[in-house]
Amino acid sequence: MKFRNNLFFIVLLLTFSCSNLSKNIVQEGKLYVKNGTFTDKVWREDLIFQKHSWFHELTLQFDFMLANISPQSAFNFWFTKDELDSIVKCEDSRIVMAYSLDSKDIPYSSLYEQLEKNGYTRLEIPGFKKQLLQHPDAGQNGFRLYHIFAICKKLNNHKPLIISFPGYSSKLIN
């Protein structure tokens, strides 16, 4: 009898959890790139990405990650001189990794437009990107599937970044 009650409870739980699968959800988390190297330099520091993921049922539709790199961070070694010169001119700069399962459903251009409306300019950072993609965590986390770039806001008005895609609730990103 006890087994039958447990089985009934499990089936009931699965039924209710599956009824939520038709919803679009946005989840938050963090992704850590642990430690780094550049030529003869080795450091024990984490590059922390704030991760925002848009799911349809259980399928990841869009992933958006942001990381701040402080002026004292050893990860600044990954920038070329020109990239670093551009970054230091910004009041608010961040590294971005963005992934879209199907760019027809959630196009990258939609993200770019929203970043621009919030006062950010996109910066290409091929030197940094090359270093990041060679990190051991890159293969494990599929970084090659992501668009990697920096965003720069010349004047930091402390206005929060809000990202919104059709069919999903808006996401406030700090």
Query: Which of the four pLDDT bands, split at 50, 70 and 90, describes residue 10?
Result: low
Q: Which positions ≥6 away from 113 have C-beta within 8 Å?
A: none
Give backbone dihedrals phi and psi of 73, rounded to 5 degrees, phi first.
Answer: -70, 140
What pLDDT was estimated at residue 53? 96
- Return the pLDDT at 45: 96
Q: Where are the domains of the chain?
A: 24-173
Global confidence as pTM = 0.84
Predicted pLDDT at 22? 56
Tell me the per-residue pLDDT of 56-65, one tens digit each, with 9 for 90 and over.
Answer: 999 999 999 9
So what's the pLDDT on residue 7? Answer: 52
Predicted confidence (pLDDT) per residue in 58-102, tens digit: 999 999 999 999 999 999 999 999 999 999 999 999 999 999 999
pLDDT of residue 122: 97
What is the structure's pLDDT at 159? 80
Q: Which position has the higher pLDDT, 71 or 18?
A: 71
